[in-house]
């Protein structure tokens, strides 16, 4: 084992509004919302607040799996085997799409505009011991397709049924099931690659193994099958290579594996005793651990590269992306903890932080803090880092300029709300009653006395936002609508209009 520095991490629990500290699954939709399946229902997290969704049709509120389809609908399954989806904030019971005989959903998996669904049907006593005596059950494989408008086609039910089924798995390009046909021998199982374009199921691999060991689960990476067995005193992987199997990894104590991924050029094992991270699946390779002694269930990577780890009893841990550093401001000196604006100087690799009382923190990568004080009471509400390396600081009481050596270079006037330097180096200012422009060849000349002579008034309106797009149009957000400027200002949207 090797030890390393803990990554940047933050923690969400019921103290933050999570319905339960036991979380099974997470997914992110196209709008960036995180959907969370918990012991006490499904909820949506917008980065600040949680919204929990409930229905009188729930047989139970323990949500085991959540997936998002291409139309933004949220599909989820509960412990009772019910399948639901949320569309336009309304919960729909998917049972309305199935025949009555198919009601107990064992698992589901989204594949573009199709949903693979496995239904379980028990017809006899469910034996627990010995493990080789399976209950008399059947699994039905189905495929539910929908078009680009969301309309569903009739459910397709495959002719084959299975006596043994351990869930859907997705590789980088395919969906698989690992099954045993009804009536087949105990230790002969099939890996089937699913293809929604055909009604026939094609076996990719057949596995025969010693029936004295207990089969737990399987995972896929780069179309190769990783099998998870257990045999006292420890658990281990088998990696299937065509018809051969090779032992890859053993444990000295019994660990239950809940998820398995290849991330950041390493194998991540999500277990009931924390996360194990290994360079390779061999006993000799070193490993590191995260969240030791915490039962971890699932890992999801969001659009920004953050890792969301679901746990039993400990809520959600979020490991921030490698390029992100989580900073707790009480860990280093700031003039005050009120932060009203941020900007980053990529040339000097420094972060500008605007505080109240006219104070600015300039943070380097090692969090050394140089404070600029302007001796005013206003808040710093905006920054501009111009093409010469100067910092234009928008204070509520006045606009002032800081030169590259971080000393105040010049004081201007008050009333400025926002500031922009366009690609032609001109300076644009939005104020309490105008949008102004200063030509780049007059910037060094502007001062309080020459304000009215050097400032061009573009729009006579209170201006809050300025932006230049890729086509070099200037967009101007005012108290009375949105404007654009190319050679002249034009009204784009005003109060009450819609795009």
Using one digit for the tens of pLDDT, what is the confidence trace for 23-36? 999 999 999 999 99
CA distance 341 to 348: 18
Other Cβ atoms within 10 Å of 480 Cβ, number: 11
Instruction: Supply the pLDDT for residue 77.
Output: 98
Q: What is the tens place of the pLDDT at every residue in 298-357?
A: 999 999 899 999 999 999 999 988 765 656 666 667 887 889 999 999 888 889 999 988
Q: What is the mean pLDDT of residues 98-116?
A: 94
Please name which of 81, 34, 121 lies closest in space to residue 309, comparing C-alpha atoms.
34
The tokens for 274 are 């924390």
Look up residue 343 and give its DSSP letter: E
Which phi-psi region, left, alpha or beta, contains residue 167 (left: φ > 0; alpha: ψ -120 to 50)? Answer: left
| CA dist list (Å): 455 to 11, 174, 381, 438, 490 | 50, 61, 21, 5, 20
The label of the residue with tokens 């929908």 reads 146
- Tell me the whole-structure pTM to 2 decimals: 0.69
Higher pLDDT, 166 or 136: 166
Cβ atoms of 438 and 455 within 8 Å: the answer is yes
Residue 452 DSSP SS3: helix
Give the contacts of 167 (CB within 8 A, at least 6 positions apart).
106, 107, 118, 177, 178, 217
Work out the pLDDT band at 210, boundaries 50, 70, 90. low
CA distance 258 to 203: 25
Kindly tell me if the per-residue pLDDT of 81 is higher than 90: yes
Q: What is the tens place of the pLDDT at every residue in 351-406?
A: 999 998 888 999 887 778 888 887 777 899 999 999 889 999 999 888 888 988 88
């Amino acid at each position: 084992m090797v030890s390393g520095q803990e990554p940047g991490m933050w923690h969400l629990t019921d103290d933050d509004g999570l319905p339960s500290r036991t979380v099974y699954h997470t997914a992110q939709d196209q709008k960036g919302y995180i959907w969370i399946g918990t012991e006490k229902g499904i909820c949506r997290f917008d980065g600040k607040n949680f919204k929990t969704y409930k229905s009188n049709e729930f047989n139970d509120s323990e949500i085991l799996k959540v997936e998002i389809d291409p139309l933004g609908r949220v599909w989820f399954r509960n412990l009772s085997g019910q399948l639901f989806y949320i569309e336009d904030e309304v919960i729909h019971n998917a049972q309305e799409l199935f025949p009555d005989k198919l009601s107990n959903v064992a698992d589901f998996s989204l594949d573009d505009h199709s949903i693979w669904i496995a239904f379980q049907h028990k017809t006899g006593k469910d034996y627990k011991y010995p493990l080789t005596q399976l209950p008399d059950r059947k699994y039905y494989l189905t495929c539910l397709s929908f078009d680009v408008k969301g309309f569903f086609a009739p459910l397709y039910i495959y002719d084959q049924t299975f006596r043994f089924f351990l869930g859907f798995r997705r590789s980088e390009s395919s969906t698989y099931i690992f099954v045993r046909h009804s009536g087949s021998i105990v230790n002969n199982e099939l890996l089937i690659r699913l293809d929604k374009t055909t009604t026939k199921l094609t076996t990719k691999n057949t596995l025969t193994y010693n029936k004295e060991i207990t089969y737990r689960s399987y995972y896929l990476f780069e179309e190769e099958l990783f099998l998870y067995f257990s045999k006292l005193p420890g658990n281990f992987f088998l990696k299937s290579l065509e018809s051969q199997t090779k032992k890859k990894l053993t444990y000295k104590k019994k660990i239950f594996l809940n998820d398995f991924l290849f991330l950041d050029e390493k194998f991540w094992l999500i277990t009931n005793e924390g996360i194990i991270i290994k360079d390779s699946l061999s006993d000799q390779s070193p490993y590191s651990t995260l969240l030791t002694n915490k039962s971890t269930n699932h890992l999801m990577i969001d659009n920004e590269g953050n890792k969301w780890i679901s746990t039993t009893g400990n809520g959600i841990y979020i490991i921030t992306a490698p390029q992100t550093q989580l900073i707790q401001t009480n860990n280093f000196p700031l003039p005050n903890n009120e932060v009203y604006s941020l900007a980053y100087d990529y040339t000097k690799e420094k972060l500008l932080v605007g505080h109240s009382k006219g104070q600015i923190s300039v943070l380097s990568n090692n969090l050394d803090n140089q404070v600029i004080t302007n001796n005013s009471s206003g808040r710093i509400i905006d920054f501009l880092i111009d093409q010469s390396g100067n910092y234009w600081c928008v204070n509520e009481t006045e606009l002032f300029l800081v030169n590259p050596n971080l000393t105040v270079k010049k004081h201007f006037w008050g009333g400025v709300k926002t500031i922009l330097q366009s690609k032609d180096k001109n300076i644009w200012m939005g104020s309490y009653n105008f949008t102004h422009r200063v030509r780049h060849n007059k910037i060094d000349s502007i001062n309080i006395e020459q304000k009215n002579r050097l400032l061009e008034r573009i729009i006579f309106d209170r201006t809050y936002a300025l932006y230049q797009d890729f086509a070099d149009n200037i967009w101007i957000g005012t108290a009375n609508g949105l404007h654009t400027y190319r050679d002249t200002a034009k009204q784009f949207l005003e109060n009450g209009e819609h795009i």
